[in-house]
Amino acid sequence: MKLISLVITILLGALLLSATQDLPEWASPDSPASTHLSPYYIENSMEQTSVPNFVTSVLADYRGYDTMFETTVIFCAGITVLSILRRSHRRKKKVIRPRPKRKDKDLILRTAARMIAPMMQLFALYVVAHGHHSPGGGFQGGVILGASFVLLAVAYDLKTILNRLRERFIIIGGAVGVAIYVGIGAICLLLGENFLDYGAWSKILGVTVIEAHSHGMLGVEIGVAITVMCIMFSLYADLSSGGEMDEGL
């Protein structure tokens, strides 16, 4: 197996290396990737959407349909992990796993995690809300939010966190995030524009079409952040406890 793999790898490497000769030089400003579509985004993003961060405007507006389904993929992944691993509550034999007793042994860890977690959540909200003007957005902020809950679950145990953040709430939250995204797009449809054409929101919000694009993007990013947060924590909870949703690691 090793030999076959080595032969395949070397052959593919040689093939790709010969193709590399035709690729543009590193950091060349007139490479094909930077000359066809991306100048349009850079020139028109501010005029059409009033968002100075081109990455956010391309992500949530110009390519909003793509991002909608990326969010759906994340939600589907969370549901898949749940349906593969989750076991019913009435299990016949208890799986014996060695679990060290660690009461009062990690006082420093728990205290530090409890103080850091709110800061992380506050920073995550800043990353989501300020994603139009600085690096950030729904995906990044959602991951930071999810990581703050994972930190708490590592420092305490999973059960303590799940008492506060119910499993049902996590899954419904993942669905709500996707629903917010699709809902914002569908309301554009009801207002007589295309799907995900946030300019239609100007009729409700009472702002100009350009500003409505910016507000629509913020709403969409909030939906993405909720989905990513819930699914990231759900993945951790399922994988660390083997679908039992008990003490976890």
Partner 1 sequence: MQDLLHFIISKYNYWAYLILLLLGLHAMISKNNLVKKVIGMSIFQSAIILFYVSIGLKQGATIPIMEHGHASEAAHQAIEVAAYANPLPHVLMLTAIVVGVSTLGVALAIIQKIYRVYETIEEDEILEQIKE
Interacting residue ranges for partner 1, rule: CB under 8 A: 1-2, 4-6, 8-9, 12-13, 16-17, 20-21, 23, 25-29, 31, 33-34, 37-39, 41-43, 45-47, 50-55, 58-59, 63, 66-67, 70, 73-74, 77-78, 80-81, 84-85, 133-135, 137, 139-140, 142-143, 228, 231-232, 235, 238-239, 242-243
Q: What is the nearest approach in angstroms of partner 1 to the Cβ of residue 61?
A: 11
CB distance 248 to 157 below 8 Å: yes
- Apex CA 143: angle with CA 66 and CA 163, to 5°? 125
CB of 109 or CB of 209, closer to partner 1: 209
| Selection from 70, 65, 45 nearest residue 185 by Cα | 65
Q: What is the nearest approach in angstroms of partner 1 to the Cβ of residue 161?
A: 18
CB distance 220 to 141 below 8 Å: no
Which residue's entry shows tokens 């910016």? 214
Beta-carbon neighbour count of residue 217 at 10 Å? Answer: 26
| Selection from 130, 125, 132 nearest residue 148 by Cα | 125
CB of 31 or CB of 111, closer to partner 1: 31
Q: What is the nearest approach in angstroms of partner 1 to the Cβ of residue 242?
A: 6
Radius of gyration of the chain (CA): 23
CB of 144 or CB of 187, closer to partner 1: 144
Q: What is the nearest approach in angstroms of partner 1 to the Cβ of residue 49?
A: 10
CB of 178 or CB of 187, closer to partner 1: 178
Q: What is the nearest approach in angstroms of partner 1 to the Cβ of residue 42?
A: 5
Q: What is the nearest approach in angstroms of partner 1 to the Cβ of residue 110?
A: 26
Residue 17 CA, chain-centre distance (Å), reads 34
CB of 72 or CB of 121, closer to partner 1: 72
Please tell me the distance from the alpha carbon of residue 238 to that of residue 196, in angstroms, as a whole number: 33
CB of 162 or CB of 232, closer to partner 1: 232
Beta-carbon neighbour count of residue 242 at 10 Å? Answer: 14
